[in-house]
């Protein structure tokens, strides 16, 4: 029985980890990890995938859980135009250096201050100012 569980867990990790690595925050990571894990290995996969998704999602968030809604509201109130991007808006995507306006993150958002934000396809994203790579999608 334990060999079967280990095999199921290894299968889930192999199949689900790339999908849950892009999860945004603990709640999103748990949800997405559980869905991917269940699809790959059934109920055991859902448990393992949800646990790993929560851990990965929690580590990858730059803005704190409490800051995310407040920051999203701040950006909406700024009324910045949305840049049309042909590819998927996701963590890791690289935006062009020209044609996109990048804005400074206010000091009150702590660690996120070293990044810039913009609006892409009506979604707020944090971007590394040196590489223009999306580091977080704010939902």
Cα end-to-end span (Å), the chain: 41
Q: What pLDDT is attached to residue 121? A: 96
Domains of the chain: 2-60 (no CATH), 67-138 (3.10.450)
Cross-strand bridge partners of residue 94: 133
In this structure, the dihedral spanned by the alpha carbons of residues 53, 20, 124 and 26, taken in order and rounded to 10 degrees, is 0
For the stretch 60-112, pLDDT in tens is: 588 888 899 999 999 999 999 999 999 999 999 999 989 999 999 999 998 89
Burial (CB < 10 A; 0-12, 13-18, 19+), residue 34, is buried
pTM (global) more than 0.85: no
Tokens of 129: 């100012």
**Residue for token digits 């990048």?**
102
- C-alpha radius of gyration, the chain, whole number: 17
């Amino acid at each position: 029985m334990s060999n079967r569980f280990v095999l199921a867990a290894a299968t889930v990790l192999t199949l689900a980890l790339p999908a849950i690595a892009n999860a945004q925050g603990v709640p999103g990571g748990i949800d997405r990890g559980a869905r991917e894990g269940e699809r790959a290995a059934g109920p055991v996969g859902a448990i393992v995938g949800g646990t790993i998704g929560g851990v990965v999602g929690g580590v990858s968030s730059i803005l704190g859980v409490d800051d995310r809604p407040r920051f999203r509201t701040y950006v909406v109130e700024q009324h910045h135009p949305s840049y049309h991007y042909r590819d998927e808006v996701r963590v890791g995507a690289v935006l062009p250096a020209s044609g996109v306006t990048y804005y400074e993150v206010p000091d009150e958002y702590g660690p996120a201050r070293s990044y810039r934000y913009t609006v892409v396809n009506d979604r707020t994203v944090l971007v590394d100012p040196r590489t223009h790579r999306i580091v977080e999608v704010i939902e």
